[in-house]
Structure 1
């Protein structure tokens, strides 16, 4: 199957200018009716409860797809899916798993040292190890 670019090159080779003009008109119509413009997404948008509520409102009140909502609010489609399907990011709880993961990622980007977990204290003193019998077995011992 030929690609659109190969098809266009074949039309040029055969001097089919009318077909090329028609193809260009179809492209212009497609660009005019496209609801999401390519490469218009904002990057680095921080997920907040307000943004999550805006995503839910767009999802409920419009017929937009998750991808279109993602482009509109400036996040990726996976985040939109998390909000719609799992209700993530709807609370302002700093201890929510998604907020903790976001804060860790930001700290990594800044090059901040990781907070180490303190070593667990033993519940009771370990019993001294008993010496193992290092003797050899002979065939008659079995």
Structure 2
């Protein structure tokens, strides 16, 4: 008799655990029109990560121009306004040495988008990053949670 409750309870526990790993905050679509304009001499970089169960418990830090600007959170999007010029984006690996890096020119264009996702390897997950087109990014981020909380 106990067996008939084990499977449903296990499924509920797994669902709650995975949901707890997802980003929280207002949906991007509901706040995009209230976001501040990009100031002169700055550019805006958006970072987003669509939800996937693989690696959902990992929230690697994202650094731009030498400072932490946020975290790669499943189901989340955030932005950082940075001074115009050359800037290195880096995401350190949580599981083993190494990091993903890329150079960008902030301000060209004024707003840029970057997709992050967890990649599998034989040693664990690694956060990947790539530039995204505005069209693809805006389509992907509409239902993601805006996570622009205070950066530590």
TM-score by length of 1: 0.28
Between Structure 1 and Structure 2, whose CA radius of gyration is higher?
Answer: 1
Q: State the TM-score, normalized to the length of structure 2.
A: 0.27
RCO greater where, 1 or 2, for CA within 8 Å and sep 6 or more? 2
- Greater per-residue helix proportion: 1
